[in-house]
Amino acid sequence: MPFTLPPLPYDRTALEPHMSAETIDYHYGKHHQAYVTNLNGLVAGTDMDKMSLEDVIRASAARDAKIFNNAAQIWNHTFFWESLAPQSPAVPKALASAIDESFGSFAAFREAFLNEGKGHFGSGWAWLVKERSGKLAVVSTHDAHTPLTGEAVALFVIDVWEHAYYIDRRNDRGAFLSTVFDKLANWDKVAERLAAA
Ligand code: MN3
């Protein structure tokens, strides 16, 4: 079963001026697509070519870094695009309460998230997750690593690989993070994931 690039949930120009169509063309059209193309080449003829993407990620995590990296990057990027919206909605009540309980305030959550993303060394991802205890937490993962292989449930993510911001922001990861967080975060989607977690 060939894996396919999931459609973007909005038009390529819809996140402008905060994220350019050129960034979408490269980040979604080339980087995300390349992980799909690579994975299809790697799993062809193996026992993984009929599995779901999630099963491929779990099955390859301990035994095949190339397959794991490409499969997890497909999943992480799809989760990232779905974490964004052209008009960032207000934070729904249930999500706001969970954030207040875990971080003290939305402002404290925002600061923790932006610091985690800015402070992450090298390529990776900054996440809001729901831990097994029920508490929300901010974590980062390196390279392709993903909460999907652990016990926490992913709720929101921002990609902090350089390819995510270099076209629009050059080396300014901090400006990219705060703009995406403040202008493009799809809090309705995050609340939906929390309700399902
Ligand atoms: Mn990326």
Please give the distance, rounded to the nearest whole angstrom, from the Cα atom of residue 124 to the centre of ligand 1: 8
Position 117 scores a pLDDT of 98
Helix 65-82, helix 33-43: angle, nearest 10: 150
Q: Say what the pLDDT of residue 94 is.
A: 98
Q: What DSSP assignment string belongs to 147-164?
A: GGGSSSEEEEEEE-SGGG
Identify the pLDDT of residue 173.
98
d(CA 89, CA 185): 8
pTM, two decimals, is 0.98
Specify which residues 125 forms β-bridges with: 141, 159
Burial 16-48 (b: 16+ CB within 10 A, else e): eebbbeebbebbbbeebeebbebbeebbeeeeb
What SS3 state is found at 81?
helix
Between the CA of 147 and the centroid of ligand 1 the distance, in Å, is 16
Query: CA–CA separation, 144 vs 74, rounded Å?
Result: 9
How far does the centroid of ligand 1 lie from the alpha carbon of residue 93, in Å? 30
Read off the DSSP letter of residue 86.
S
- The model's confidence at residue 53, banded by pLDDT at 50, 70 and 90, is very high
User: Per-residue pLDDT averaged across 17-43, rounded?
Assistant: 98
How far does residue 51's CA lie from ligand 1's centre (Å)?
A: 23
For residues 159 and 180, give the distance between their C-alpha atoms in angstroms, rounded to a whole number.
Answer: 10
Model confidence at 76, in pLDDT bands (50, 70, 90)?
very high
Å from CA of 112 to ligand 1 middle: 21
Q: Is the pLDDT of residue 1 over 90?
A: no
So what's the pLDDT on residue 85? 98
CA of 92 to the centre of ligand 1 (A): 27
Q: Separation of 14 CA from ligand 1 center, angstroms?
A: 18
